[in-house]
Amino acid sequence: MVFLCYNLFIMKNKNKKILIFIVFSFFSLAIVLFFNHTTAKTKKQEFEKSKKEILEKNLKIEDDKMFGFDLNKNDKKIYQKVFVPVTHFSSPKENISYSELKEVFSNYNQKIFSGNFILKENQRELLGFFGSKLNAKNIDSIEELKNIITTSDIALVPFDKLIPQLKVLKIDDQNILDKNIDIKNSKYPTIYIEGKTEGSNFQKEKNIQAVFTGVTAISRTVQTMIDLKRDHIFPARAIMDELKKSDIVHVNSENSFFDTCPTNPAESLILCGKTESIKSLKAIGTNIVDLNGNHQTDFGTEKFLESIGHLEENGMQYFGGGKNETDAAKILYKETSGTKIAFLSYAYFDSLNGKAYRNIANGERAGVNFYNLEKMNLNVAEASKNSDFVVVDYQFNETYSYTPLLKQREVFRSTIDAGADMVIGVQSHQPQEIEFYNDKIIFYGLGNLFFDQMWSEPTRQGVIPRLTFSNGRLLSIEILTTMLYDYAQPRFTTEEQRKNILINILPEKIN
For residue range 448-480, what is the model confidence (pLDDT) as tens digits? 999 999 999 999 999 999 999 999 999 999 999
* Other beta carbons within 10 Å of 153: 18
Largest CA distance in the chain: 122
Q: Dihedral angle at the C-alpha atoms of 296, 301, 302, 304, nearest 10 degrees? A: 20
Which residues on neighbouring strands pair with residue 262, listed in sequence order? none
Say how far apart CA 57 and CA 237 lie, in whole Å.
39
Angle 178-79-53 from CA coordinates, rounded to 5°: 95
| C-alpha to C-alpha distance for 113 and 93, rounded to whole angstroms | 10
Q: Which of 510, 376, 343 is nearest to 438 (CA)?
A: 510
Residue 496: predicted pLDDT = 97
Question: What pLDDT was estimated at residue 25?
Answer: 56
- How large is the C-alpha radius of gyration of the chain? 30
CA distance 422 to 341: 11
CA distance 266 to 206: 47
pLDDT digits (tens, 9 = 90+) for 477-501: 999 999 999 999 999 999 999 999 9
pLDDT for the residue numbered 57: 37
Per-residue pLDDT of the chain (511 residues; tens, 9 = 90+): 544 454 544 554 545 555 555 555 555 555 555 555 555 455 445 444 444 443 343 333 334 334 444 434 444 567 789 999 999 999 999 999 999 999 999 888 888 999 999 999 999 889 888 877 889 999 999 999 999 999 999 999 999 999 999 999 999 999 999 998 888 777 788 887 766 567 788 888 899 999 999 999 999 999 999 999 999 999 999 999 999 999 999 999 999 999 999 987 777 889 999 999 999 999 999 999 999 999 999 999 999 999 999 999 999 999 999 999 999 999 999 999 999 999 999 999 999 999 999 999 999 999 999 999 999 999 999 999 999 999 999 999 999 999 999 999 999 999 999 999 999 999 999 999 999 999 999 999 999 999 999 999 999 999 999 999 999 999 999 999 999 999 999 999 999 999 999 999 999 866 5
| Alpha carbon of residue 229 to chain centroid | 35
User: pTM, whole model, 2 decimals?
Assistant: 0.85
Identify the burial level of 108 via C-beta atoms within 10 angstroms of its C-beta, where 0-12 means exposed, 13-18 middle and 19 or more buried: middle
